[in-house]
A and B are shown apart, each in its own frame.
Chain A
């Protein structure tokens, strides 16, 4: 069983590497054969050197954690086993450039006039510092996101096809499990908070919930990306909710911002700024909450695992492993809770913005 799995993964890795390397090879067809052997030898040497260095160097828990939390231009499954991902760069002078991140596997981490900087997070900077370059690479996070998007689409379209094909039948198995969650989101989260016009927002909120949930859970798998613990992702989600709220908000909502009911006129000087800050605090809190919860969970887990390497003791390692197991369960719970909270608060913000009566819930 294990050997089968390993063989499967090896093949999958090789296949994926080939696919991702294609654009790079298109750039340099002549270099390909001769360069490959040399590169491989070089890489091996580099690796050995690297290992030696690492052995001598003290274990640095901080950088280990940062390395695991941060985004990367390759998908490292375990030490030395990494899937190179495509680098996509845009600059005004060169236009769009696409090549494999494995091209940075040389001594100076340099390729085609770009330098891959390993700091707290990876960054691609042009060697010529006067140039400005935009990095649209398929990083580990983007790859993980694409994977989760594919999973979501496959899972839910297959469930949807079941509804189309077997009308009037009782739900079974996985369908009923998903149905429970969908119904929970619809009846307990969206319906009571958004109000009577909830059906319009249901697709967005359901997608939001399942997208966050699946990425939270995928983030817990070893070697996976920390997508929902990335501030760019949570920011995008929060901004989307903000846009949905403010595109659909009615007159009452906007009137309430500039003229809160029952507030004496002198107080308006204070109230209006407070209200306006409140408008932006809502998405900000959404962004920070999800980011901080998921990142904190990852940091705690990684710290625990780091302790094993710091103590290097047979006695302490199992204890810490047990504790890490326990925390993993908590993290699974957090994965659900955070997805739920993000959806719940989004529903509440939408609900308070589209409410017909002026005694709107402030929702702070």
Chain B
């Protein structure tokens, strides 16, 4: 049972020593230690926050950059496309124009040729008529000079007509 009976002397010393330890440690140990720990925690937290903020800013910058690049690319593509379109259009237009022009030229050439031809044909016709007339005139002239032959021919013609 002696184990279960507290000794008053020990209680007295225990109170004195323990309370002294509590006060000394509270003042000279726990206060600076806890303050140091808290300060360090705050520092670490601050550093972490800063890093997080910086990272967010970096991400923001990066996305901005990407956006800018994308925009630039889009604009470049647009410009290239426009240029190509313009070139294509110009080429097509030129081609069309050239074709139309050529056609026109060909047409006019044909017209000219036709006209020239017509003129030439009519001239040739006229020439031929004139020439035929002249030949006929000359032939007639020479034929009509021979009166006997004329009469023989007429007789021949008349006889053949009867046979028919």
Contacts and interface: CB of A to CB of B under 8 A. Distances in A.
B14 interface: yes
Contacts of A161: 32
Contacts, number: 135
Please classify the interface of chain A as helix (H, G, I), strand (E, B), loop, or mixed, using the class held by over half of its residues. helix
A156 B7 contact: no
Interface stretch (A21-29, A42-50, A163-171): A163-171
B3 A160 contact: no
Contacts of B6: 230-232, 235
Interface in A183-213: 183, 186, 199, 202-204, 206-207, 210-211
B24 interface: yes
Interface residues of B, number: 37
B4 to A, nearest CB: 6
Interface stretch (B34-42, B103-111, B123-131): B34-42
A236 B11 CA distance: 6
A134 B8 contact: yes
A146 B20 CA distance: 11
A121 B9 CA distance: 14
B3 A149 contact: no
Contacts of B22: 203-204, 207
B30 A136 contact: no
Please classify the interface of chain B as helix (H, G, I), strand (E, B), loop, or mixed, using the class held by over half of its residues. helix
B30 to A, nearest CB: 4
**Size range of the interface on A?**
35 or more
A145 B4 contact: no
Given A203-B25, A207-B26, A145 B17 contact: yes
Interface in B21-66: 21-22, 24-26, 28-37, 39-40, 43
B154 interface: no
Contacts of A204: 22, 26
Contacts of A146: 17
Given A157-B28, A206-B25, A163 B36 contact: yes
Nearest to A240: B18
A324 B9 CA distance: 33
Most buried by A among B3, B11, B17: B3
Interface of B: 1-15, 17-22, 24-26, 28-37, 39-40, 43
Interface of A: 66, 69-71, 88, 119-121, 134-139, 141-142, 145-146, 149, 152-153, 156-157, 159-161, 163-164, 167-168, 179, 182-183, 186, 199, 202-204, 206-207, 210-211, 230-233, 235-237, 240, 295
